[in-house]
Structure 1
Amino acid sequence: MQAVDVMNRDVVSVKPDLTVREAAALLVEHEISGAPVLDPQGHLLGMISDGDLLHRVELGTGEPRRSRWLEIFSASHDAAAYVKAHARLVKDVMTAGVVTVDEATPLDEVASLLEIHHIRRVPVMRGDEVVGIVSRANLVQALSIAPLEPNTLQAVSDREIRAMLMGEIASHNWALSGRNIIVRNGVVHLFGYYVWSPAQVQALRVAAESVPGVKAVEDHTCATPATVGM
């Protein structure tokens, strides 16, 4: 499998001139822990994550403490920590030099990048355009439905099924942002949270069942806390 087979296509992005508080609200609203920072032309500038917002003066968490040994070589580190703690805008606290992959990157390479760089997600690029995000959660989702024996002959048709389903639901307001759909051996697996009602998941299931080549639909979604008891 490749990045294109598991990536989330509904990319929530952040503008560099957004305030830190606005960015935090956006992450909470979409129930994500990080997002790419894009300029007005859609070019990738960096990533903003909960790690970038951990030490903030507004929270009283301020600048992280360091050991006495580090004090000798810490002028640059201290300056960067001050910016992270006090800056108002995303462009000043984001992480630059982002690790990226393209759509054809094999999942084993994606997993290695996440581990080596101690990151939780990578943007998927098509040239200069961000077309998706692959997170650790997406890899776990793919693992949870992986067959005991890989079936490389099925990969192309699985990809076609996923593309047809994504195209079918793209224009509908019940197609949840934050959803993820993985197709394996003709079986469509739905992951994510529904916000308003189980009818949204039912609509996704019906749409999936109408796609040629789909053998079954497996629902792994669950309600957000706000919908429990509705």
Structure 2
Amino acid sequence: MQASSIMTSPVIGVEPSASIADAAGLMLSRKISGLPVIRSDGVLVGIVSEGDFLRRSELGTKRKRSRWLEFLVSPGRVAEEYVHANGRRVDEVMSEQVVTTSPESALEDVVELMTRHQVKRIPVVEGGKVIGIVTRSDLLRALLRSLPKGDSTVATDEQIRQKIVAELAAQPWAGTDMIHVRVDKGIAELNGAILDERERQAALVAAENVAGVKSVTDHLYWVEPLSGIVVDPPA
């Protein structure tokens, strides 16, 4: 799946010369937390978000430092913070360093950018122009569309068991022949050993995601690798 398949387009943006009142009002009316700042020729020049309005003199929330710490901060940095706390135009408070992506980018790359740079939205740029934006909400919508809606295919218990076994065999945490699977009337039963308690939930999820599984019974027991102590499965 590519960025172009889930992005929001056309983009709701704001011009650099717009007032912060207009930007804040637009965010509230559209129920969004940030806006790309786009020139009249379509070129992206920044991002303005709720975070840019946190340190404001009107709210009494502008940054305050002790005298000795103020002495250590450069005058330029203090001046920059003053503009951010008192500016009236979007281009005075926006973030100029913008993380962007292309419409052909894979979703895994887009998510990697979001997590690495700790951003909630990534403009999609083509030919120097903004053609869309991918937000966390877009990813949630894509996830919702991708979740199984129910499988009408009738599978036998053995077919279900084989699918669970295959899924477990493909996972590096599951070990080799450590988890044994039985299926009766769509109810999967997991037996065997795990070497880390976190593997229990992973095994349950692996079974739950197989079409035809109605429920999963957990009979796994945990073996502490160093001591060999066995912890019985949950009652």
Q: So what's the TM-score if we normalise by structure 2?
A: 0.58
2:10 alignment counterpart? 10
1:182 alignment counterpart? none
Q: Does 1:34 align with 2:34?
A: yes
2:161 alignment counterpart? none
Q: Does 1:125 align with 2:121?
A: no
**Corresponding residue pairs, total:** 148
- 1:182-205 Cα deviation digits (max 9, x unpaired): xxxxxxxxxxxxxxxxxxxxxxxx
- 1:3-29 Cα deviation digits (max 9, x unpaired): 011101131110111111111111111
**Take 2:81 and 2:118, find their aligned partners in 1: how far apart are those partners?**
19
Relative to 1, partners in 2 of residues 1:139 and 1:71: Cα closer, same or farther, differing over 3 Å?
A: farther
Q: Does 1:134 align with 2:126?
A: no
Relative to 1, partners in 2 of residues 1:105 and 1:86: Cα closer, same or farther, differing over 3 Å?
A: same
1:60 alignment counterpart? 60
Q: Which amino acid aligns with 1:101?
A: T
- The structural deviation recorded for 1:73 is 3.8
SS of residue in 2 equivalent to 1:101: coil
Q: Which has the higher contact order (CA 8 A, sep 6+)?
A: 1
Q: Contact 1:55/1:64 (CA < 8 Å) preserved in 2?
A: no
Q: So what's the TM-score if we normalise by structure 1?
A: 0.59
Alignment identity in percent?
Answer: 38
Relative to 1, partners in 2 of residues 1:107 and 1:66: Cα closer, same or farther, differing over 3 Å?
A: farther
Relative to 1, partners in 2 of residues 1:12 and 1:64: Cα closer, same or farther, differing over 3 Å?
A: farther
Q: Contact 1:64/1:81 (CA < 8 Å) preserved in 2?
A: no
Q: Which has the larger radius of gyration?
A: 2
Q: Which amino acid aligns with 1:82?
A: Y
SS of residue in 2 equivalent to 1:37: strand
Alignment gaps of 5+ in structure 1: 149-230
Q: Does 1:115 align with 2:111?
A: no
